[in-house]
Homo-oligomer: A and B are copies of this chain.
Amino acid sequence: MPPRKRASSGAGADADPGSPGRPPAGELPARLRSTDIARLAGVSVAAVSIAVNGRPGLSDATRKRILDVANELNWRPHLAARALKGAANDVVGIVIARPARTLGVEPFFAQFLSGLQSCLSNRGIATQLLIVEDTETQVAVYRRWAAENRVDGLVLLDLAVDDARPRLVADLGIPAVVLGSHGNPMPLTSVWVDDHAATARILRHLVALGHRRIGHVSGTVAYQHTQRRLRAIEDVRDSTGIEVTSIATDYSDAQGASATRRLLEANPRYTAVVYDNDVMAVAGLGVATEMGIPVPRDVSVVSFDDSVLTTMAHPSLTALTRDTFALGTLTATELLRVMAERPAPRPVQAPTPQLVIRQSTAAPAER
């Protein structure tokens, strides 16, 4: 038997060869192909390809005729066929390794993603998202995506100390940008924030107010940016001689609250507490209020992250603020560059977060 031929323009004896056994919603609209467009425009498929890809070598009249037919029928090149020939997929991937439930808690991710996407959308590029349990699966996904040729680029987030991913992704040959790392060696282009300066900014503010005994409710120490903050704190401690105690947490409100309790029960009491994120800061504020310790009179509170939470708290919280959306667009811009030009890896500095002084910080009470 000859290979099954699709019903072409000729005699169409098979009006609907569709499945007679499948009752509901079983119509298949018989996908258009470039041959159809070519036939209707009276040209070859090669001409169709040239026209839709805007390449030179066609008269304006012919080009227009082809495009008119294509638009009329709302035909686009089949993505898979195009990708098979080595074209871009117009997809960038993000794989996140976090407990899925925690994603919605922080506004950071959603805002970053929005910024990223709003920049990529202009180029018709979509973002492909996968949430996995652990870093191992994450690595497996990178491998799989590379093998499958699924994405044109990657964004790496939440870099851990000694994270193996940048090296792996670079070796896999996928264009990528990492957010937050600018270590050496640097296998990938990175967008980084000066956590050191930001941390110093907070501490300078508190020291200037007169605080000499400061608590720090830190995030997960496995992350690189946490380490950078801790190092900055050490530097300030060494240079100014003030006392700073860090307590590590998992960023949750629960651990933020219990860390706060420990700091406020200490004797002598810490006169200021710095929190690595907004959720913990607000939770800590609640704890202080519960314990009858007025903020900012008896204890000042500062958050590393700014959000609707910190502005709406009472008292509103002094916080480091940054444009997370813009961070996303910056990352996207760099990724587009990497995808297009494959330049040598380089660090790109994002604006350093600014300190917004609100109602939660003041000079420590006299003793």
Contacts and interface: CB of A to CB of B under 8 A. Distances in A.
B103 A110 contact: yes
A316 to B, nearest CB: 9
A80 B84 contact: yes
Contact of A31 (B32, B129, B149, B324): B149
Interface residues of A, number: 73
Contacts of A75: 147
A218 to B, nearest CB: 20
Contacts of A104: 107-114, 324-325
A296 interface: no
Interface in A89-144: 89, 91, 93, 100-101, 103-105, 107-115, 117-118, 121, 126-132, 143-144
Nearest to A289: B314
B107 A105 contact: yes
A334 to B, nearest CB: 15
Nearest to A25: B342
A48 to B, nearest CB: 14
Interface string A63-101: 000000000001111111111100001010100000011
A170 B289 CA distance: 54
Contacts of A283: 312
Contacts of A150: 79, 126
Contacts of A22: 342
Contacts of A170: 25
Contacts of A279: 308
18 contacts: A24-B343, A25-B344, A25-B345, A26-B342, A27-B173, A77-B148, A100-B117, A114-B131, A117-B129, A117-B131, A121-B130, A121-B131, A128-B129, A282-B312, A286-B314, A308-B309, A309-B309, A309-B312
Interface of A: 22-29, 31-32, 74-84, 89, 91, 93, 100-101, 103-105, 107-115, 117-118, 121, 126-132, 143-144, 147-150, 170, 173, 253, 279, 282-283, 286, 289, 308-309, 312-314, 324-325, 342-345
